[in-house]
Amino acid sequence: MTFNVTADAYGRFMGRYSEPLAERFAQEADVRAGQRVLDVGCGPGALTAQLVERLGADAVSAVDPSPSFVAAIHERFPEVHVQSAVAEHLPFSDDYFDRALAQLVVHFMTDPVAGLREMARVTRPGGLVGACVWDLAGDTGPLATFWRAAHDLDPQVRDESGLAGARAGHLAELFHAAGLKDVEPTTLTVDVRFASFDDWWDPFTLGVGPAGAYVAQLDESQRDALLDRCAQLMPSAPFEVSASAWCVRAFA
């Protein structure tokens, strides 16, 4: 899936979850000064920012197929080496990085096993390959209430639960299939606070990702019904959403 949206729209919809997640993910991937690290599917830079803080910009490379996100990284981190590319065809030589990381990307890859294999190829032997994907099949992901409401109104709705790595255990299976060694799965959880129901709902109308695309193709009455159902299911404001991602790290 391509993300044809502005960095600002992405930030309002997903950045509020992916920024705190990036801190946890960088910690889990044991990112330390002196390493050279690749951010695969960098988006507007939630993980990139963490890597720059820990390593310095000149030790960070990033790729993404979305032109608006590549431009956003150029502007935000002029020293980061960012290119337009997909995980399945990484424009780097073998063994170039100490870490290759993909935060919230594997489920959007056309061929996730090929993408992870490429990440392993560009990582030096003994270096670490890491990825995380929200729990999009159970109750603990950030979009669980949204998709539950959509299902209540339309049992045939195509949600994100079938995407690669979205269900418990699947991300680790993909790592094994890509030939990675010492595969270690874990779960990362972040808590995000919302001041009001509108603060939570409005970003769904910005067209970001599969949830935004779903809202965008509804007619007005369908959208109102979905909003009402979400309002019934969400707690009274202010509230926190606890969001969990499956995370896997392994060695190249």
Ligand X SMILES: C[S@@+](CC[C@H](N)C(=O)[O-])C[C@H]1O[C@@H](n2cnc3c(N)ncnc32)[C@H](O)[C@@H]1O
Interface residues toward ligand X, by CB under 6 A:
1-3, 14, 18, 40-43, 46-47, 64-66, 69, 86-88, 103-105, 108-110, 115
C-beta nearest to ligand X: residue:
43
Q: State the nearest-atom distance from the C-beta of 240 to ligand X, in Å.
A: 20
Q: State the nearest-atom distance from the C-beta of 12 to ligand X, in Å.
A: 12
Q: State the nearest-atom distance from the C-beta of 28 to ligand X, in Å.
A: 14
Q: Which is nearer to ligand X, 2 or 189 (CB)?
A: 2
Q: Which is nearer to ligand X, 119 or 230 (CB)?
A: 119
Q: Which is nearer to ligand X, 41 or 130 (CB)?
A: 41
Q: State the nearest-atom distance from the C-beta of 108 to ligand X, in Å.
A: 4
Q: Which is nearer to ligand X, 18 or 61 (CB)?
A: 18
- The torsion of the CA quartet 92, 171, 204, 153, rounded to 10 degrees, works out to 150
13: exposed, middle or buried (Cβ count in 10 Å: 0-12, 13-18, 19+): buried
Question: Which residue shows structure tokens 């010492």?
Answer: 182
Query: 166: Cβ–Cβ under 8 A, 6 or more apart, which residues?
Result: 107, 133, 134, 135, 136, 137, 141, 160, 246
**Residue 229: C-alpha distances to residues 109, 154, 160, 205 (Å):** 31, 12, 19, 15
